[in-house]
Copies of this chain bind each other. A is one copy, B any other.
Amino acid sequence: MRPHELPEIRHLPLFRDMLQANFEALMHGAYAQAFPAGLELMRQGDPADFLHVVMEGAVELYAHWGGRECTMAVVRPVGTFILAACIKDAPYLMSARTLERSRIILLPSSDLRAVFRRDTEFAVSVIHELAGCYRSVVRHAKGLKLRTSRERIASYLLRQSALAGNLASYGLPVEKRLLASYLGMTPENLSRTLKTLEADGVKLDGTRVIITDRAKLSALAQPDRLIDGPDSETPSAGASLPRVQGGD
């Protein structure tokens, strides 16, 4: 593991409050690994042997069933994923693959389970992390059930703008095909709907989003704190929305 990485992990909400001795014990069994883009890190159904911490790159969490596949989340540095499965010592519910060349720290889940049993501060951090993840998926499910495709796209674009600091223009953080899958629609549908959204105050130029009329877009998206956040409870983990890459 690289020297700068340890403090970065230590500063994550999940590891911030635990005893130094326990942190060190946890990191003792950890190891870092580099992966090329497009590599499958785990397959749904596998036993949860390691908590994963993304230090560089990006990881897609996705699910499959009966030949179909869908994106559930994208995790970027510094973020953890698959905490719940590690804790329950249960099979992963999702598969994971790298979207880019990535550096990932692997923490044996047995160590994890041992440590929060003797470090209450860490246990409390885990509680907060999991509660955040839970609420994040609930938001996602609400969006899927209550909103149409069009509304999901509009609110996604607004949400990303908010994450970028309410910029009117920013870059999409993920490929459109992945975004479509995350939002529960086909790439064709996303592409077409984006075109028609020009009448509602937002335009796309390649990967660049330009909000031309925020009021109009908001009227369509009806952003809702209980679906779109802002989560004061932002999870660093598994259930996070694809995050913005930075805008200008």
How far, in whole Å, are A93 and B88 apart by their CA atoms in the complex? 24
CB contacts (< 8 Å) of A123 on chain B: these are 116, 120, 123-124, 127
- Chain B residue nearest in CB terms to A184: B145
The answer to whether B135 and A138 touch across the interface, beta carbons within 8 angstroms, is: no
CB contacts (< 8 Å) of A146 on chain B: these are 63-66, 68-70
Say whether chain A's binding surface is mostly helix, strand, loop, or mixed.
Answer: helix
CB distance from A222 to the nearest CB of B (A): 5
Task: Count contacts on A: residues with CB < 8 A to the other chain.
Answer: 54
CB contacts (< 8 Å) of A116 on chain B: these are 123-124, 127
User: Counting CB contacts under 8 A, is A224 at the interface?
Assistant: yes
The answer to whether B44 and A226 touch across the interface, beta carbons within 8 angstroms, is: yes
Give how many copies assemble into the complex: 2
User: Counting CB contacts under 8 A, is A28 at the interface?
Assistant: no
The answer to whether A226 and B91 touch across the interface, beta carbons within 8 angstroms, is: yes
Contact of A72 among B135, B138, B222 (CB under 8 A): B138
Instruction: Find residues 151-196 in chain A having any chain B CB closer than 8 Å to their own CB.
Output: 151, 184
Instruction: Find residues 125-140 in chain A having any chain B CB closer than 8 Å to their own CB.
Output: 126-128, 130-135, 137-140
Instruction: Find residues 63-118 in chain A having any chain B CB closer than 8 Å to their own CB.
Output: 63-66, 68-70, 72, 83-85, 87-88, 90-91, 93-94, 116-118
A-B residue pairs in contact (CB < 8 Å), sample of 19:
A44-B226, A65-B146, A65-B147, A66-B222, A70-B146, A72-B138, A83-B131, A84-B131, A84-B134, A85-B131, A88-B131, A88-B233, A90-B232, A90-B233, A123-B124, A127-B130, A130-B134, A133-B134, A134-B239
A interface residues with partner B (beta carbon < 8 Å): 44-45, 63-66, 68-70, 72, 83-85, 87-88, 90-91, 93-94, 116-118, 120, 123-124, 126-128, 130-135, 137-142, 144-147, 151, 184, 222, 224-227, 232-233, 239
